[in-house]
Chains A and B, each alone.
Chain A
Amino acid sequence: MSRHRDEQRGVFKADPKAAVNDELGFHIDRLTNDLIARGLSPERARAEALRKFGDLERVRAECEQLERAREHRRSRVQWIHDFGTDVRYGVRSLVRQPLFTFAAAITLGLGIGANAAIFSAVDALLLRPLTVPNAGELYVIAAKTRDFDLATNTSYANFQAIRARRDLFSDVVAFQGMKFSMRLGSGDAQPLFAGTVSSNYFDALGVRTVVGRTFSEREGEQRLPLIVLSERVWERNFQRDPSVIGSAVSLNGVPYTVTGVLPRSFDGTLPMIALDAYVPVATWVMHERAYAGLLEDRSSGYFRLLARVKPGVPDAHVQASLRQVASELERDSPDANRGLQFVYAPELRSRPDIAVAERTPWVIAVFVGLVGLLLVVACANVANLLLVRATRRQSDIALRRALGASGGRVMRQLITESTLLALLGLVLGALLGSAALAWVNSLRFSLDAPVVFGLQMNWRVFGLAALAAGVAGIVAGLAPGLFGARMGLARSLSEVGRGGSGSRVRHRVRRGLVVAQVAGCVVLLVFAGLFTRSVRQALSSDLGFRTSRLILMDLDVGLQRYDSSRGNAFFAQLRERARALPGVREAVTAMSVPFGGNLNSASVTLERPSPALVGTVEAFRNTVSDGYLSALGMRLVSGRDFTAQDDSAAPPVVIVNEAFAARVWPNEDAVGKRLRTAPDRPLAEVIGVVGNSKVLFVNEQPWSFVYEPQTQRYQGTRTLHLVTDAPAQSLAGPLRQIVRELDAGMLVPPIRTIESHLRDGNAFFFIRLAATLAAALGFIGLVQALVGLYGVLAFAVSLRTRELGLRMALGASRGAVLRSVFAEGGALVGAGLVIGIALAFASSRVIRAVLIGVGPTDLIAYSGACVLLGLCGLCACYIPARRAARLEPVAALRADG
């Protein structure tokens, strides 16, 4: 009596009707036969059997119903049971091959993680609209003038002129971030970076508070000291206490009344900068002597503008109308608005800044292209690895099929295994992606403004990347099952051992893929090398001023409501005492630091205008102490430097740079000429010309620059520059002590070195980011290429097992076998290197403009990439080569895969 378990009943169709029919039919037939055996005629026996059985149809119906329910239960239990088996089997086989598992999971993880992180960043910084109602209506308006051909901020008067065009815009807001010194009660002063905004700001944007209310336009016009806090500050300084509404906060010594708290979802309208609070700009300027004339100053470039365009007004009409407004403004005040043009673009297409926004899509495209490529390569790699392994296991699969496992069953097992692998990759991807974003979020800058990226994993993007990788993995996982199912069982059993012709074709595809990966990796590594070398070069290039052994400290005595004589006395004492510190060679002050955020410009009028130049000359300006130029290592071309004698009693003097002199007096000596740096400033004599220095970008054309002595033009905000050989940390404490002794209430910001100032400044930030990103992508590309190389070589060795065994049996040495595997790997790497270098050569021209101090064909970057890839490639060859060399000839000849 042969039987087999119900669960293994794969041969029989699970048909409840047939099962019941078989079972009941068997009963009646047996009964009939027994009765015949007892002597009844077949007809009588059948009738008697049916009588004894009872109501056949009723029983049949009832049984069929019960059987269907049983079948249903059985299949569910069976499925769960099989699933458990598959998972156990899958986990076992993954654990048994840790190198394979690690390679595949890390490949997937890097591909998914990099994509999710980059897309999340792009989405958060560049694609996500502002969190205000109808954000699509918001347009950035910036101004260009003849002397400053870079779209930038503009004056309050220009803002009002634009706002008056109610036919175009339902409203326009003006705003800018400003550092304040905040005091709560009798506590320490702490910095607060607040928006100084036109009083219609909240109404126009439609921003609501979580507690309290915003200030209204009328309140702003009345110059009431009101402040709206961000939720961050409310939490940090007030522990979310709702009773803060109506209480006073001291900003620069002026009490402002808190009216409300903004929700966390409102990030403000400055890109990447999270404002701590908002005050009406009119109230602020009323209390700040340094900014007293700001709203009336037609040449100021303080305000950023954001306009809410009326629905249905065509772009062309707005552009034309803005041209008209600009020409009217130029006619009204030609000096301040010479050559005025407004640049107008949707807010979403003005990031990170309208001046550079037209390049943004290209930058995005490059990086999205690179990471997209990475994901494709990752999927191909995983597919490759799975195929390699599947080939080794094809005999196993063929055997299982021969033993009666259905094709579907084998398939399911393979899917389960690839899915496990994909899950592992997903987890790694989520971890790596989140870690990358957390790293970006943790970047801190030595700027006044709180830069907050607040990047979060975009799980939708993550899901898409995961889906792509998952599908690739599963399809690749299925391939061996499909081949096995298609081939005749006997054929697949016999063919596997020798590596069938089909797998040879696939192998060729795989080798091509590895060459492509190596080539892609070379491009990524070359780019990484070029960017990294650019950063090096930029940091060590000649910027026209001292870039080492210089320590900076920003101070603002305006926050303590000093007048000019008190301010001058404070800084004079500070310099004197700082100079006495050990290791300090010189202590000077200046209003701003090159590559910093606090740059000012001047509209210079000449005593005797040159015929070539109409009206004012725009130039950057800095007010500096005596000794500043020499302390900063700036070259005096002619004339003399400022001295302590150039004070308010002495005749007014200025120093200009070579670019200014060449532009204004191309064929004359600048020294001795006279000019005004502002309409209300006295005529000052040019006493010297200094060499050009960089101001905004490392590879910029020289800007015109004028320097004024602080003793003649008072400035409450100054940066102390210390020339020193002592390490910065050793000076932090003594400096703080000096400031405290001079004024206990003074806000003492942390000191920084010139190196960190430059690194974190705008000019270097993006190239550093590019270098970091390219290096990260280059590293990932390297891992991918090595995994691919390893996979292909391992596969090749497994295909050639018999051949290698035969050669060794015929006397080939192990060294010869080792060499032959290395030769195959070397050929792949070599081909990839050649193609990669050609590609890098062709494409690096695109980034020529961004590179600093290195050419797009920089030998070091290219050779570095080749050496790195070559060495790592040899390592990737080693494992399969060693396996080949360790083959036992007899075992290899018998090998089946």
Chain B
Amino acid sequence: MASNSLELLRGTLDLLIMRALSVQETHGYGVARWIERATGDALQIEEGSLYPALYRLERRGWIGSEWGFSENNRRARFYRLTKRGKEQLTTETDTFARFARAVFLALGIRPATA
């Protein structure tokens, strides 16, 4: 049961990262802050787990990265969504929405705004 929820969480995490990068190019810290803000700090993810996820997404070619300097002039790696990443985000958002609707339906919950 625990590993199942982790799987679910990882897929969801990828989706959230890509969504964050579709808003703006930023570094890992920026992604963490966006997710925190956007979910109302409800998910309580370990921020360290963002990085392996970022690296894997880059390997799949959905995001790209370049080194640069942050606002306070520290070296940081900046990520951006690639063209293929954008397409992937669209399909995965759609898939996730259908998945969520199906689960809500089964559980008899009426989604608030879905």
Contact = CB atoms under 8 A, between A and B. Distances in A.
Interface in B36-88: 46-49, 51-52, 55-56, 58-59, 65-71, 74-78
A54 B75 CA distance: 22
B33 to A, nearest CB: 8
Contacts of B69: 1-3
A201 B39 CA distance: 98
Given A56-B48, A70-B59, A26 B27 contact: yes
A359 interface: no
Contacts of A27: 27-29, 32, 47, 51
A1 B68 contact: yes
A486 interface: no
A813 to B, nearest CB: 60
A82 interface: no
Contacts of A73: 59
Nearest to A33: B72
Contact of B52 (A2, A52, A53, A59): A59
A362 interface: no
B58 to A, nearest CB: 7
B47 A52 contact: yes
A776 B30 CA distance: 75
Given A27-B29, A27-B47, A52-B46, A9 B67 contact: yes
Given A27-B28, A52-B46, A63-B51, A3 B68 contact: yes
A31 interface: yes
A55 interface: yes
Given A4-B66, A27-B29, A27-B32, A53 B46 contact: yes
Nearest to B28: A27
Interface of A is mostly: helix
Interface string A1-22: 1111110010010000001101
A32 to B, nearest CB: 11
A66 B48 CA distance: 14
Given A5-B66, A66-B56, A55 B78 contact: no
A22 B28 CA distance: 12
B66 A70 contact: no
Contact of B68 (A2, A53, A54): A2
Contacts of B48: 24, 53-56, 58-59
B52 A62 contact: yes
B34 to A, nearest CB: 14
A31 B48 CA distance: 12
B25 to A, nearest CB: 9
A6 B47 contact: no
Interface string B3-41: 000000000000000000000000111001000000000
Contact of B51 (A2, A52, A59): A59
A30 interface: yes
Given A4-B66, A27-B32, A54 B49 contact: yes
A22 B67 CA distance: 11
A3 B29 contact: no
A53 B29 contact: no
B51 A23 contact: yes
A67 interface: yes
A172 to B, nearest CB: 76
A559 B12 CA distance: 99
Given A26-B29, A54-B46, A12 B67 contact: yes
A29 interface: yes
A26 B51 contact: no
Contacts of A178: none
A69 interface: yes
A62 B65 CA distance: 18
Contacts of A2: 68-69
Contacts of A54: 46-49
A311 B94 CA distance: 88
Interface residues of A, number: 32
Given A55-B46, A67-B55, A29 B74 contact: yes
Nearest to A8: B66
A652 to B, nearest CB: 105
Contact of B55 (A12, A30, A31, A70): A70
A159 to B, nearest CB: 81
A357 to B, nearest CB: 71
Given A1-B71, A3-B67, A59-B49, A23 B28 contact: yes
Contacts of B49: 54, 59
Contacts of A55: 46, 48
A6 B46 contact: no
Contact of A30 (B29, B52, B66): B29
Given A4-B68, A59-B51, A22 B59 contact: no
Interface in A425-481: none
A27 to B, nearest CB: 5
Given A26-B76, A31-B29, A69 B59 contact: yes
Interface in A563-577: none
A3 B47 contact: no
A6 B67 CA distance: 6
A8 to B, nearest CB: 10
Given A4-B67, A6-B65, A69-B59, A22 B75 contact: yes
A250 B80 CA distance: 88
Given A59-B49, A62-B52, A70 B74 contact: no
Nearest to B70: A26
Contacts of B27: 23, 26-27
A70 B49 CA distance: 18
Contacts of B47: 27, 31, 52-54
Interface centre among B46, B55, B56 (most CB of A within 10 A): B55
B59 A66 contact: yes
A597 B67 CA distance: 85
Interface in A61-92: 62-63, 66-67, 69-70, 73
A697 B47 CA distance: 99
A320 B55 CA distance: 86
A5 B65 CA distance: 9
Interface centre among A29, A54, A55 (most CB of B within 10 A): A54
A62 B68 CA distance: 23
A4 B65 CA distance: 11
Nearest to A19: B77
B14 to A, nearest CB: 14
A73 B27 CA distance: 21
Contacts of A70: 55, 58-59
A26 B31 CA distance: 13
Contacts of B66: 3-6
Contacts of A29: 74
A30 B76 CA distance: 11
Interface in A134-149: none
A54 B49 CA distance: 8
A62 B74 CA distance: 23
Nearest to A7: B66
Given A26-B76, A54-B49, 8 more contacts: A1-B71, A22-B77, A26-B75, A27-B28, A30-B29, A31-B32, A54-B48, A63-B55
Interface of B: 27-29, 32, 46-49, 51-52, 55-56, 58-59, 65-71, 74-78
Interface of A: 1-6, 9, 12, 19-20, 22-24, 26-27, 29-31, 52-56, 58-59, 62-63, 66-67, 69-70, 73
18 contacts: A1-B68, A3-B67, A6-B65, A19-B77, A20-B51, A22-B75, A23-B76, A27-B29, A30-B29, A31-B29, A55-B46, A56-B48, A63-B52, A66-B56, A66-B59, A67-B55, A70-B58, A70-B59
List 10 A-B pairs, minimum CB-CB distance, nearest first.
A54-B46, A3-B68, A59-B48, A66-B55, A54-B48, A53-B48, A62-B52, A27-B29, A30-B29, A26-B76
